[in-house]
A and B are shown apart, each in its own frame.
Chain A
């Protein structure tokens, strides 16, 4: 349920950058697969919060990245879409996370009718 807080944070960030509240067509975000964020839940929460906060009914477009991991057994660097994918070389699940927790508002597209 923290997606509700995150949706609020997203509208705050968008409002700060735009300096005003305008209806939006699209909001583009990047989410890492290890961020603990449910994309479906975020879409649901963001739709409601965006409307409440005066940003219309934008489509939330999620760019889901791959995580980068390094195997602590054999040193192979590999990519994964979740926590459960082991090393493709040796199968070990002992690894260090290099990236995959990111969550960024990348850009917004303003509803043309409003400008």
Chain B
């Protein structure tokens, strides 16, 4: 029995992301011990994450492995495998983001024993909101924005763009047809993430991809 009013209040004082952050720390430790540098790639659907990763797969080859996050289908993993990298598909079955537990589960199934392997790229579910609060254990968080989406997106989705280390502006081959202001985009992104590194690329034509891949490579070698 609880007659005392004070006894009916129970102190919880627990951050809701505790469990995710614990798994993220485990992932970071495991990957760090194996000498694998990890990227978390976040964008809206159709911004070109998988095309960027295909281009990276051609640069890094067997040195890179990929975890693909999608609501459904193995399509993206198949594309990455064709491009020459080990890929593991997470199908979230409806969830709008990856969490660190799903990534841990993927890591349990992947072959991380290769001496060659030094880079893991995690392609998050296409979404500019939900993935931003979930640390997966990555070393570098990359926000990908494609120019057809418009140059107003940075300040519309601040919870993501305030947490990124790198802004990758993709589909630059389309810029002659659009009113996308690259300078404003970069300025607004720096107002949220002062130290953000910015690359302008076209994953489809390959423009700027070598410079970006070399930057990623220099981050772990």
Interface residues of A (CB under 8 A from B): 1-2, 5-6, 9-10, 12-14, 17-18, 25, 29, 34-37, 72, 83-84, 93-97, 101-110, 112, 115
Contacts and interface: CB of A to CB of B under 8 A. Distances in A.
Interface in B91-138: 95-97, 99, 129-130, 132-134
Interface residues of chain B: helix, strand, loop or mixed (majority): mixed
Interface residues of B, number: 33
B14 A115 contact: no
Interface of B: 1-2, 8-20, 95-97, 99, 129-130, 132-134, 155, 158-160, 162, 190-192, 194
A103 B8 contact: no
A13 B160 CA distance: 25
20 contacts: A1-B96, A12-B19, A17-B12, A29-B16, A35-B133, A37-B133, A83-B158, A83-B162, A94-B191, A94-B194, A102-B15, A103-B17, A104-B15, A105-B14, A107-B11, A108-B12, A109-B9, A109-B10, A110-B10, A115-B1
Given A34-B158, A96-B194, A103 B132 contact: no
Contacts of A110: 2, 8-10
Q: Which 7 residue pairs spanning A and B have beta carbons closest together?
A: A36-B159, A2-B130, A83-B158, A115-B2, A93-B191, A105-B12, A110-B8
Given A95-B191, A96-B194, A112-B8, A35 B159 contact: yes
Q: Is the interface of A mostly helix, strand, loop or mixed?
A: mixed
A17 B162 contact: no
A108 B18 CA distance: 18
Nearest to B134: A2
Given A2-B133, A83-B158, A104 B194 contact: no
Nearest to A110: B8
A108 B8 CA distance: 8
Contacts of B129: 2, 36
A107 B9 CA distance: 7
